[in-house]
Structure 1
Amino acid sequence: TLPPSLFTSQQLSSLNLAYNRFSGTLPSEIGTGNFENIELQENEIEGTIPPEIANNPLLHVIDLSSNLFSGSLPENLGSLSLLHDFSVAENMLTGEVPASL
């Protein structure tokens, strides 16, 4: 399980918890830290991708591939002007990719 406090760090710029067996959902606090990179690929995280992820304008890389995410991508992802690497491959997402991406 990923505790909400993990995502509120103001000191860390990169969070890489890839290739583990973390489960649970992503908390809405994912958008409150100063992360430039969030890499959570190859885990067992489920639920929807919270729209709050786009509240962090510093994000360059988001890799949520190979998890169990469902639902649609948040419409506001296109507001991340520094984002240059975004992967959600191998999930169970539905709907359309936001045109803003």
Structure 2
Amino acid sequence: MDSVELAHAYYDAIDAGDYAALRDVLAPGFTHVRPDRTLAGREEFLSFMRDDRPRTDTKHVVDSVTAGVDGAVAHGHLFAPDELMFAFVDVFETGEKIERLRTYAD
């Protein structure tokens, strides 16, 4: 998969609660830097997404994903069933899998 396909697969897996598919697109050393915390390592991230994230009833609406030299940049919105939670920009660093993700949110 190229960087744009990896980004789309990432959002699809999270929204579906498909943690096996999510694991498949993340490198073992994956790091997610978020405004509220940093999750270091694929297993720590998967554990958080599966067991500790505050809301699991959310959906990512991705407005655009643009390929870059070392990854991709995605812009979108996170929705809960009855509300827009926030807009985001995600910066993906990729190789064969997603190595690092930095999220910016308003």
TM-score (norm 2): 0.23
> Which structure has more strand as a fraction of its residues?
2
> Which structure has more helix as a fraction of its residues?
2
**RCO (CA 8 Å, sep 6+): is it higher in 1 or 2?**
2
TM-score (norm 1): 0.24
